[in-house]
Amino acid sequence: MSQMTERPPDSDRPLERLPGQVARVSLPRPVLQSFHYRIPPDLLPTAVPGVRVVVPFGRKRETGILEALVDPPAGGGSRLKDLHSVLDEEPILSPELLHLCRWVADYYVAPAGLVYRAALPPGMLGSAGKGRGELRRQVIHIVRELPTLTEREQVFGKARRQREAYETLEAIGGRAEVAHMERQLGFGRAVLTGLVQRELAEITSETIERDPFAGFHTGPPAPELNPAQERVLEELLHRAEASEPGVAVLRGVTGSGKTVVYLRLMRAVLDRGRTAILLVPEISLTPQTVERVRSEFGDDVAVLHSGLSDGERRDAWAALREGRKRVAVGTRSAVFAPMRDLGVIVVDEEHDGSYKQGETPRYHARSVAVVRARMAGALCVLGSATPSLESWELARRGKWASLVLPERATPHPLPDVQVVDLREELTPPPRILSERLKEALAERLSRGEQSILLLNRRGHSTWISCNDCGWVAACDSCNVSLTWHRKRGRLVCHHCAFEQPSRDICPECGGRTLSFTGVGTEQVERHLGEEFPEARIARMDVDTTGEKWAHRDIIESVRRREVDILLGTQMISKGLDLPGVTLVGVIDADVGLNLPDFRASERTFQLLSQVAGRAGRGSLPGKVYVQTAKPAHFAIQTALQHDFETFATRELDDRAGPGYPPHVRLANLLVTGPDETAVADAAGALGDWLEELIERHEVASTVVLGPAPCPIDRLRGRWRWHLLLKSDDPPALGSILRYSAANAPIPSGLRLEIDRDPESLL
Ligand code: ADP
Ligand code: ZN
Ligand code: ZN
């Protein structure tokens, strides 16, 4: 055994019990390296890759993931500490998931421990002692009754604690969770096992399924496929059978019946004994999709999303891991769902920005889905009415399959979209509704039809300034203006938790004429109430949906026709199938168009296409009004025509010159810190260091842009500068990033954040 020669030289243990290999453990901490521990003999049987382990770390204990058994690091073997304990009887991360997480850690330059934590249900990985979630609940229950006192004396003898435990169990109905007996009632594991050994009680694993969607009514049965859907399904099935199924981009206009196709595909995969994952942007916004999946697959479905309690999520996770459920539906992190023999991953609304995690690990669930599917030999389907240009480009070049559903499946064609030029059709202050949109709303109200209004800006007024001295209400810790929330009487920062009471006097000059501009949804709601006092209005934005199921409740009431006008931010643009809606109005299409971000046009096109797709899905035709001051902008023009291809061609062309994705790969390197000059200096030094690194290694594929202050140059008290790396060689870019993360000169007190394939450069 070659490992034996590498045993720690100072070991005084008998040779035959000496484990040659040590455990490589990653902890959920913001450091890139992993740590090595010796495995004490009693832990050898259970210390296998993929289990959670408790390890000594400094003066504390921490829980981490045992990633691999490896030879001890050269020279350091003697100083290794012992693993403290192993938490799981069997690995909670399969080899496949360990491998996937490793890929995520390497690609996104993220600490592996934080990737594992993101991949596991909440509370599974943290500092030892807290949040040690158990996958399965163990239940201890009485199997033999002891009716007489004499029997009890005989059976228990001097085992006083066992008798207490038995009688406690009796008193609480004969059954309890082991964890409850141990933690709340203070009976040790040995006491409980004693009861089992005496055949008085049994311990069984029982999963208490708590299903938040239980009360949800299920939808109508799935319709027969139309010929276009049949062709797409056939093609997907054909690919799913292949040895390397690859990736298929399914572009289908809103209402073309993509979801129907996903369901049939997933059903076929299940029939072949494999499993399926469906990713959706945000569950609370897509209750209808979840509902359709549930009505198709019933108890085979586990729903995973951030609205679940930790326990609910662990239940769902355990069910998938044990193969009791075979379909996972969820948001971003469901891409890590512990499936057995995965056959397909469907990413619905694949263009959606919420698939990218905004904090470490900054992974993009779409990319992870593609990689996982490849590792598992599964098919990956990326569906959208408005595919991301990244996916579209690969489909266009034939690297990925390209499938199209060009028409709606319902009797009515895509709605007629008209532009309202805000420069010509001046609306009376507060400039919310043009005459045309107002009339259209009134008409819908009189006919008993429903309307949707979109404004992607919340609060009442987003810009409060002094007419005398020019003062602007701004956040103390971010370089952004504060938004006035009228009902709450507060000025609020939408980037951090800062808020202060409303003002009517300028704090700088004492001036009394403050102007409140920049209309938000709260103001629109008020205005609608004044214009249409008889209308039933519902507002859906972050401020009205704090409660766990608030979204669902609002959507349900719209569906029950208890609402005439649904008003909201981009939340209302996604996935809703509300047949009663015949009018969609976009109050200000320019909100996102003016952002200093290379995706501004793409985001605007997507938002307009998606929200327009909410109109006319039932038996009545739909109509859409888009209010804008830039009616000639191509993103707006192509959205009016539902013309994705013209938009994509033009936008791809526009991005070729400056070199933006998908023509190149990006990494955004942010330097942040409390002191502006220090941050600017460090960003400058980092830029020089990167230039030198790239030159020294002759990496012709990669260029450095910047440094420059970020568009939002101060956030939560930290100044922000960034450098942009552009590359057409992903592996080379990866090497540079990993080398930089470990070696770049960043003064203490400052932070370097690496965002690979950034969704936003703000
Ligand atoms: P998408 O996911 O592309 O927006 P959906 O799958 O939600 O489309 O379908 C839109 C509407 O059309 C739904 O109400 C759905 O039931 C209906 N639909 C889909 N396919 C068919 C079909 N082949 N025949 C009749 N109705 C269909
Ligand atoms: Zn003033
Ligand atoms: Zn702030």
pLDDT in tens, 304-317: 876 677 777 888 89
Best residue among 263, 288, 295, 577 to mutate for probing ligand 1's pocket (most ligand atoms within 8 Å of CB) is 577
Question: For 581-599, what is each residue's pLDDT tens digit?
Answer: 999 999 999 998 988 889 9
**Chain mean pLDDT for the chain:** 88
Task: Return the bridge partners of 72, or none.
Answer: none
Looking at the CA of 221, which ligand is closest? 1
CB neighbours of 697 closer than 8 A, spacing ≥ 6? none
pLDDT at 424: 87
pLDDT at 537: 96
Assess whether 623 and 752 both reside in one domain. Answer: no
Question: For 351-385, what is each residue's pLDDT tens digit?
Answer: 999 999 999 999 999 999 999 999 999 999 999 99
Assess whether 675 and 613 both reside in one domain. Answer: no
Tokens 């040995």 belong to 190
Distance of CA 234 to CAs 53, 187, 222, 249, 378, Å?
46, 59, 17, 14, 16
Task: Return the bridge partners of 538, or none.
Answer: 566
Which atom of ligand 1 is found nearest the CA of 613? 4
Task: Return the bridge partners of 490, or none.
Answer: 485, 501
Lowest average pLDDT, out of 2-6, 86-90, 598-602, 688-692, goes to 2-6
What phi and psi, each to the nearest 5 degrees, are found at residue 29?
Answer: -130, 155
Q: How far is the CA of 384 from the centre of ligand 1 (A)?
A: 14
- SS3 letters across 66-126: EEEEECCCCCCHHHCEECCEECCCCCCCCHHHHHHHHHHHHHCCCCHHHHHHHHCCCCCCC
Computed over its alpha carbons, how large is the radius of gyration of the chain? 29
Q: Which domain holds residue 33?
A: 2-119
d(CA 698, CA 512): 62
Tell me which of 88, 119, 150 is where a domain ends.
119
Tell me which of 94, 119, 144 is where a domain ends.
119
**pLDDT confidence bin for 570, thresholds 50/70/90:** confident
The pLDDT of 537-549, averaged and rounded, is 82
Which atom of ligand 1 is found nearest the CA of 219? 16
Exposed / middle / buried, residue 197 (Cβ in 10 Å: 0-12, 13-18, 19+): exposed
pLDDT at 309: 72
**Per-residue buried b or exposed e for 44-55, using 16+ beta carbons within 10 Å of the residue's own CB:** eebbebbbbbbb
**pLDDT confidence bin for 752, thresholds 50/70/90:** very high
The tokens for 686 are 């980092």
Q: How far is the CA of 409 from the centre of ligand 1 (A)?
A: 5
DSSP structural state of residue 550: H
Q: Which of 289, 284, 214, 283 is nearest to 257 (CA)?
A: 289
Is the Cβ atom of 223 under 6 angstroms away from ligand 1? yes
- Given a cut of 90, whether residue 755 has pLDDT beyond it is yes
75 lies in a domain?
A: yes
Q: How far is the CA of 258 from the centre of ligand 1 (A)?
A: 7
Q: How would you classify the pairing of strands 623-628 and 581-586?
A: parallel
Instruction: Tell me the three state secondary structure of residue 195.
Output: helix
CATH number of the domain enclosing 678: 3.30.70.360
Assess whether 399 and 353 both reside in one domain. Answer: yes
Which residue's CA is the nearest one to ligand 1's atom 6? 257
471 lies in a domain?
A: no
Which atom of ligand 1 is found nearest the CA of 252? 3
CATH number of the domain enclosing 39: 3.40.1440.60
Looking at the CA of 232, which ligand is closest? 1
Half-sphere exposure of 544 (CA within 13 A, CB side): 22
pLDDT at 6: 36
d(CA 478, CA 718): 8
Task: Return the bridge partners of 721, or none.
Answer: 671, 709
H-state helical runs in 172-271: 178-179, 189-197, 227-241, 258-271
Tell me which of 87, 119, 151 is where a domain ends.
119
Q: How far is the CA of 396 from the centre of ligand 3 (A)?
A: 42
Instruction: Tell me the three state secondary structure of residue 444.
Output: helix
688 lies in a domain?
A: yes
Looking at the CA of 412, which ligand is closest? 1
Is the Cβ atom of 637 under 6 angstroms away from ligand 1? no
Assess whether 647 and 718 both reside in one domain. Answer: no
Instruction: Tell me the three state secondary structure of residue 523.
Output: helix
Assess whether 591 and 559 both reside in one domain. Answer: yes
Assess whether 361 and 247 both reside in one domain. Answer: yes
Assess whether 682 and 649 both reside in one domain. Answer: no
Distance of CA 274 to CAs 112, 150, 371, 380, 482, Å?
28, 56, 18, 14, 51
Assess whether 696 and 735 both reside in one domain. Answer: yes
Question: For 105-161, what is each residue's pLDDT tens digit?
Answer: 999 999 999 999 999 988 788 644 333 344 456 788 888 888 778 888 888 888 888
Q: Are 607 and 571 in contact (CB under 8 A)?
A: no
Is the Cβ atom of 295 under 6 angstroms away from ligand 1? no
**pLDDT confidence bin for 643, thresholds 50/70/90:** very high
* Protein residues placing their CB within 5 Å of the ion ligand 3: 475, 477-478, 493, 495-496, 498
Assess whether 640 and 675 both reside in one domain. Answer: no
CATH number of the domain enclosing 366: 3.40.50.300
pLDDT at 208: 46
* Of 76 and 94, the one with more pLDDT: 94
Tally of structural domains, the chain: 5
483 lies in a domain?
A: no
Is the Cβ atom of 257 under 6 angstroms away from ligand 1? yes
Question: For 256-304, what is each residue's pLDDT tens digit?
Answer: 999 999 999 999 999 999 999 999 987 666 777 888 898 999 999 998 8
d(CA 403, CA 393): 13
Assess whether 604 and 636 both reside in one domain. Answer: yes
Looking at the CA of 510, which ligand is closest? 2
220 lies in a domain?
A: no
Is the Cβ atom of 507 under 6 angstroms away from ligand 1? no
Q: Are 524 and 453 in contact (CB under 8 A)?
A: yes
Question: For 672-719, what is each residue's pLDDT tens digit?
Answer: 999 999 999 999 999 999 999 999 988 888 999 999 999 999 999 999
Which atom of ligand 1 is found nearest the CA of 253? 3
Largest CA distance in the chain: 96
d(CA 339, CA 437): 49
Q: Which of 526, 617, 603, 524 is nearest to 570 (CA)?
A: 603
Is the Cβ atom of 575 under 6 angstroms away from ligand 1? no
607 lies in a domain?
A: yes
Q: Are 217 and 288 in contact (CB under 8 A)?
A: no
pLDDT at 285: 66
**Per-residue buried b or exposed e for 630-640, using 16+ beta carbons within 10 Å of the residue's own CB:** bbebbbbbbbb
377 lies in a domain?
A: yes
Assess whether 83 and 201 both reside in one domain. Answer: no
Is the Cβ atom of 260 under 6 angstroms away from ligand 1? yes
638 lies in a domain?
A: yes
Assess whether 586 and 543 both reside in one domain. Answer: yes
Q: Are 453 and 499 in contact (CB under 8 A)?
A: no
Sheet with 483-485, edge to edge strand ranges: 499-501, 490-492, 483-485, 461-466, 514-519
